[in-house]
Amino acid sequence: MVSICSFNTNFLFLLSYMSSHISFVSQCSRFGKFVEIQFDQSGKISGAAIRTYLLERSRVCQISDPERNYHCFYMLCSAPAEERERYKLGDPASFHYLNQSNCIKLDGMDDSSEYIATRRAMDIVGISSDEQDAIFRVVAAILHLGNVEFVEGSEADSSVPKDDKSKFHLRTASELFMCDEKALEESLCKRVIATRGESIVKNLDARAAALSRDALARIVYSRLFDWLVNKINTSIGQDPSSKLLIGVLDIYGFESFKTNSFEQFCINLTNEKLQQHFNQHVFKMEQEEYTKEEIDWSYIQFVDNQEILDLIEKKPGGIIALLDETCMLRNSTHETFAEKLYQQFKGNQHFSRPKFSRSDFTIHHYAGHVTYQTDLFLDKNIDYAVNEHQVLLHASRCSFVSSLFPPSEESTKSTKFTSIGSSFKQQLQALLETLSSVEPHYIRCIKPNNVLKPAIFENSNVLQQLRCGGVLEAIRISCLGYPTRRTFDEFVDRFGVLLPEVLGESYDEVTATEMLLEKVNLTGYQIGKTKVFLRAGQMAELDARRTEVLSSSASKIQRKVRSYLAHKHFIQLRLSATQLQAVCRGQIARHYYEDLRGKAATLTIQTYYRMHFARKNYRDLCSASTTVQSGLRGMAARKELQYRQQTKAAVIIQSYCRSYLAHSQYMGLKKAAITTQCAWRGRLARRELRKLKMAAKETGALQAAKNKLEKQVEELTWRLQLEKRMRVDMEEAKSQENKKLQQKLQELELQSNETKDLLKREQETAKAAWEKAALVPEVQVDTTLVNELTAENEKLKTLVASLETKIDETEQRFDEVKKAREELLKKATDAESKINGLTNTMLSLQEKLTNMELENQVLRQQALFRSPVRTIPENTSPKATPHGTPPASKEYGKFAQPRPSFFERQHESVDALINCVTENIGFSEGKPIAAITIYKCLVHWKIFETEKTSVFDRLIQIFGSAMQKHDSNEDLAYWLSTSSTLLIMLQKSLKAAGSSGGTPRKKPQTQSSFLGRMVFRSSNITVDMDLVRQIEAKYPAFLFKQQLTAFVEGLYGMIRDNVKKELSSLLSHAIQVPRIMKASMVPAIFMRKIFTQIFSFINAQLFNSLLVRHECCSFSNGEYVKQGLAQMEVWCGEVKPEYVGSALDELKHIRQAVGFLVIFKKFRISYDEIVNDLCPVLSVQQLYKICTQYWDDKYNTESVSEEVLDEMRTLITKESGQDSSENTFLLDDEISMPISLEEIGDSMDSKEFQHIAPPPELVAIPAFQFLKS
């Protein structure tokens, strides 16, 4: 069931969105509407619906002064501050769609109150808060869209937003529509033309972009209007089973303005159709009824407008048909449409052509002549949405906006053309069919004056409206005919009260009607077959007499009814008084009884209260005395407990204090001994070093001294290891003895705890017994239990004394072991000092030989890097051990037996590392695992601080063998990633010895040979080491860094040359290169450089071909190359900028040249426009070559003018003295773009290497467990 209130709310809510203020009406709905109210069989409203016709969409974008746009825009701008801030709205005068008129505020209308009322109406309709927010977002987006202005862009026939203000409103509109800002801008400034094989993007100039903006605003508002109508119809509900309805058609009246467009044409067509329907029902059907009833009458003449309707809607040949035909032709304009109208209706009496216009036409309507302007007829008649707008808003993230633009169905060739005019004509036809099926009643609205004030009538204006509405003609016909008619039964039933005997006796209806008419003395009426026809005013006379009879009868009835009601009221009053008296007497008796009961209850309550109060005082006294006694007893027990706890704490503190003082004294003696030993050993080492330096001058005995020193080193090393093992044994014995003492101490503590628990339980038992006997003045002491506890305490003291004795003995033994260990430690330290001194002497003697070998290696590597394709010879490294130690003698004596096993372990570690990194072991967190693993191993083994080693040579051989695979971009990319990552870590960590690159860490004295460092690292001493830290590197490390830099440059050059080689045959192969390099985790700086080189090569090849080959310098070839460049731009847009960078800028020569080839009307372009706007990068020789070789094989256009060519020749002649080369206009395609080490280092962060997972095959080896940390 639909209520009248709900229907009115829905209707008023719709008017707030579709009404506006025009020059002659304050509240004018700018659309036609047909309201249906449906009824069920009982006569109650069961449903309703609203049908709309021809919304004036152009008012959204264009209004005249002093009119207003639709009210909803002004309401939203007057919303509360928080909502205006949400939608970024302000004063209505700041929006282009609203400030075209000076009428912003209306007298008697508060926009803010109307906004609140509209919100309330939307809640009643059933629109949710999310949908309301989406609706107002769309309305606000339309306002922001109107403030987007456009200016000419950098390219020809292009447009861009005018300024920052326009960009702000464009961004705000995209946020409100919840779509992409760039896509919205492109949909307004560009148009995609779909051809058979491809789609062409066409730029729109500033005027076309503004028209596209207005078209988008109109279609969005129209879709919003349709959604609101559907929502309201759904909210109201329809009854498909209803049999009765009342329809109210509220449609625009006849309009004739200074400028009449397509909307006025459709409005006046509607009025013509309704006027014809009015004529048929009022004139034709009335005369037909006269004939059917066979009464005496004469025919009445009236004006028929069928000829005007044929002129407009006849098919074919009507104005609407010609308009649809013109719209289907692509190149038609409003002038061609007007010319067709002039030719088609040249002799029509209802059509004329204005004298001073070439595109206007005049129609002679029934209400007067109206001249229409055809400027926008074609645009307003085409019923379509721009495809870019449809796709953009359908992809909106807002479900409401997306639902307004559902995906359009694919159209086929058989689909007929549809237009606004044809659709509107079909709606009118359906409306007239509905009107023909019901009984119509007409209401003509007449405006009394143009100043919109009450009690003022402009006679001429009112008379003209009556004439245009056909009211005068209807009055004339009514006076000539019989405007009032009734069937006989209706007439007798209504006016039978004037002659009661007619109703009481059995007269037929015709006789009864004649008797009634004779009774009231009426003349001039007619009696038909089924009805009686009355003249004008006769029905009113009959109604007046009927009213007199009914009034007299009503007075008699009222008199009788009032007498009956007064008597009935008196009887009710008397009965009520009797009942009231009985109730009052009973209430008084009940109150007296309740008073007596209350007094008795008061005495009982007082008795019980006094008894309760006395009992409570007695219990409080008992409780207080008990509490005081328990408090005193608890205080005495707590004092005793506190005394015992203080005694125990004092004993513990004393024991810890003595332990701390003893340990502090021991650590001070130990530190002083170590300091003294270090100073003395350093002094002896320096003295020995001076002696050895003097002895080293004798070159004849170098080899013998070397062998002797090596034997001493081995012997001292064996002694040092023996002393270390003895030291470890002593520490283990000491720890075992400490464990035994700790176990005994724990047992004593357990016994002490048990004794304390027993004592505590006894105390609790005694306390409980004492509390039970609280009234007894004294308690007898259990002397037996006290004696037992005293004896137990003496035993515990004896046991503690024996333990202290054992602890003293243990401390004495510990001091003896400590002295022995210090003596052994002193001997081991002396031996270690001798080993270091001898080793340093041996290394200084080999310094000259090592320097010569390193110089030879540098020369070989430099020769290798000049030709990176050649392999590194195997004999470049000197004959040495894998870690750089010199070859040992054949015999070392009986103490050198463990040495071969240690070498084997070191060889196995290095071989395992080389075998692992030789293969492609992949990446972890985007970094090559091989590079991180090599760096960790070199740091762990301290290879960078070694004077001589062969590990670097073996690594260089691995990179050299990788360069042999110069045809495989996959392998080259992998090794480029590995070598560059390793180089970056070396760049960030290595520093020269003695440099101030960072704060050096205080490290223990270590051997300078790789073997000695491996021994030091295998000990239990832990050293804090970050992944990338500052290292004072030796000469081999810097040489390895230099060689690695050369390898990175060589690998980069190979990949670049391979790509150029592939590009020469097929440019599309370059797409595979970024995939390969991404998969190999090559740093982005290499990819950017490679693409910059590739695009430079493409630019040079295409541009040189354009200059050298005449067939390439054509219009069609320019379009083809431009499409290819557009595809490259799209591809570069899809690839991340970190990989491509600014490589697209390298195509500037070919892009400007192609842009010059595809423009029209080159002969109108001046030389300054070519140089400054079109081709600023190209030289005069290049421009002259293009202009002279250009030929148009598609449109036969001309090249630049002779004046421009003469100016180019003059400039070329002036520049010929400065540059005499013959081919200065060609680009160099052999340019190589270098890359620096600083660029590589800045592209990566050392923190990225912290969490790289090592290879699992190395982690499984015990020697590489340090890689896990």
- DSSP string covering 280-344: IIIIIHHHHHHHHHT-----------HHHHHHHH-TTTSHHHHHHHHHHSTT--HHHHHHHHHHH
Average pLDDT over residues 244-265: 84
For residue range 680-707, what is the model confidence (pLDDT) as tens digits?
A: 888 888 888 887 777 666 555 556 666 6
**Residue 883 has what pLDDT?**
42
**Residue 567 has what pLDDT?**
94
For residue range 723-774, what is the model confidence (pLDDT) as tens digits?
A: 677 777 777 777 777 777 777 777 777 877 777 777 777 777 766 766 655 4
* Segment of 149-163, 235-249, 463-477 carrying the highest mean pLDDT: 149-163
For residue range 288-303, what is the model confidence (pLDDT) as tens digits?
A: 888 888 888 777 666 7
Find out whether the peptide bond into 448 is cis, omega within 30 degrees of 0. no
Average pLDDT over residues 336-341: 92
**Residue 523 has what pLDDT?**
84
Of the listed ranges 646-655, 777-786, 1078-1087, 1202-1211, the least confidently predicted one is: 777-786
Backbone φ and ψ for 260, nearest 5 degrees, come out as -115, 120
The answer to whether residue 927 is domain-embedded is yes
Residue 1140's CATH number: 1.10.357
Of the listed ranges 381-390, 1054-1063, 1112-1121, the least confidently predicted one is: 1054-1063
219 and 269 both lie in a single domain = no
**Residue 894 has what pLDDT?**
34
Residue 407's CATH number: 1.20.58.530
Radius of gyration of the chain (CA): 56
**Residue 601 has what pLDDT?**
93
1006 and 1095 both lie in a single domain = no
340 and 378 both lie in a single domain = yes
**Residue 877 has what pLDDT?**
38
For residue range 1097-1115, what is the model confidence (pLDDT) as tens digits?
A: 888 888 887 777 777 788 8
Query: Which residue do the tokens 């005994």 mark?
Result: 744
Of the listed ranges 130-139, 511-520, 630-639, 869-878, the least confidently predicted one is: 869-878
Distance CA 1199, CA 1157 (A): 9
226 and 297 both lie in a single domain = no
195 and 322 both lie in a single domain = no
Average pLDDT over residues 614-621: 92
- Report which DSSP code applies to 408: P
For residue range 1033-1047, what is the model confidence (pLDDT) as tens digits?
A: 777 888 888 888 888
Average pLDDT over residues 948-967: 76
Average pLDDT over residues 30-48: 83
Distance CA 705, CA 707 (A): 6
274: left (phi over 0), alpha (psi -120 to 50) or beta: alpha
Closest residue by Cα to residue 1213 from 1186, 1184, 1242, 1236: 1184
The angle, 0 to 180 degrees and rounded to 10, between the axes of the packed helices 1035-1065 and 951-963 is: 10
Query: Taking all residues of the chain, what is their mean pLDDT, rounded to a whole number?
Result: 78
**Residue 384 has what pLDDT?**
64
**Residue 814 has what pLDDT?**
75
228 and 361 both lie in a single domain = no
CA dihedral 1152, 1155, 1160, 1161 (to 10 degrees): 0
**Residue 1000 has what pLDDT?**
39
Average pLDDT over residues 182-200: 86
More confident residue, 387 or 753: 387
**Residue 610 has what pLDDT?**
92
- Report which DSSP code applies to 1170: I
The angle, 0 to 180 degrees and rounded to 10, between the axes of the packed helices 1180-1189 and 1148-1157 is: 40
pLDDT at 778 over 60: no
More confident residue, 469 or 1015: 469
Closest residue by Cα to residue 445 from 97, 69, 27, 87: 27
Dig out the tokens for 712 from the structure: 């001493």
pLDDT at 907 over 80: no
Query: Which residue do the tokens 């990068």 mark?
Result: 1177
Of the listed ranges 22-36, 525-539, 817-831, the least confidently predicted one is: 22-36
- Report which DSSP code applies to 610: H
pLDDT at 1060 over 80: no
CB distance 525 to 538 below 8 Å:
yes
Of the listed ranges 191-200, 306-315, 669-678, the least confidently predicted one is: 191-200
The answer to whether residue 97 is domain-embedded is yes
The answer to whether residue 1079 is domain-embedded is no
**Residue 896 has what pLDDT?**
37
The answer to whether residue 1163 is domain-embedded is yes
Chain CA centroid to CA 304, Å: 64
Distance CA 661, CA 1053 (A): 71
More confident residue, 1245 or 410: 1245
* Partner residues linked to 840 by β-bridges: none
- Of 250, 278, 296, the last residue of a domain is 250
pLDDT band at 1181 (very low <50, low <70, confident <90, very high): confident
**Residue 146 has what pLDDT?**
93
* Partner residues linked to 1229 by β-bridges: none
The answer to whether residue 1025 is domain-embedded is yes
The answer to whether residue 570 is domain-embedded is no
Number of domains in the chain: 5
Distance CA 341, CA 525 (A): 52
DSSP per-residue letters across 909-961: HHHHHHHHHHS---EETTEEHHHHHHHHHHHHHTGGG-SS-SHHHHHHHHHHH
Average pLDDT over residues 161-167: 93
**Residue 587 has what pLDDT?**
93
**Residue 172 has what pLDDT?**
95
pLDDT at 558 over 70: yes
Closest residue by Cα to residue 284 from 251, 306, 256: 306
410 and 306 both lie in a single domain = yes
742 and 822 both lie in a single domain = yes
The answer to whether residue 929 is domain-embedded is yes
**Residue 1012 has what pLDDT?**
34
Query: Which residue do the tokens 């002679």 mark?
Result: 364
Query: Which residue do the tokens 């490290």 mark?
Result: 1003
CA dihedral 1174, 1178, 1181, 1183 (to 10 degrees): -20
Average pLDDT over residues 182-196: 88
324 and 366 both lie in a single domain = yes
- Of 373, 392, 420, the last residue of a domain is 420
Dig out the tokens for 1243 from the structure: 């592209």
Residue 177's CATH number: 1.20.120.720
1103 and 1211 both lie in a single domain = yes
For residue range 413-424, what is the model confidence (pLDDT) as tens digits?
A: 333 456 888 888
**Residue 1033 has what pLDDT?**
78
For residue range 66-94, what is the model confidence (pLDDT) as tens digits?
A: 788 888 899 999 999 999 999 999 999 99
The answer to whether residue 751 is domain-embedded is yes
- The terminus-to-terminus CA distance of the chain in angstroms comes to 79
- Of 379, 395, 420, the last residue of a domain is 420
**Residue 185 has what pLDDT?**
93
Closest residue by Cα to residue 115 from 145, 147, 72: 72
Q: Which domain holds residue 347?
A: 264-420
821 and 704 both lie in a single domain = yes
219 and 354 both lie in a single domain = no
Distance CA 428, CA 657 (A): 111
Dig out the tokens for 793 from the structure: 């305490």
**Residue 133 has what pLDDT?**
94
pLDDT at 1223 over 70: no
Average pLDDT over residues 1133-1141: 71
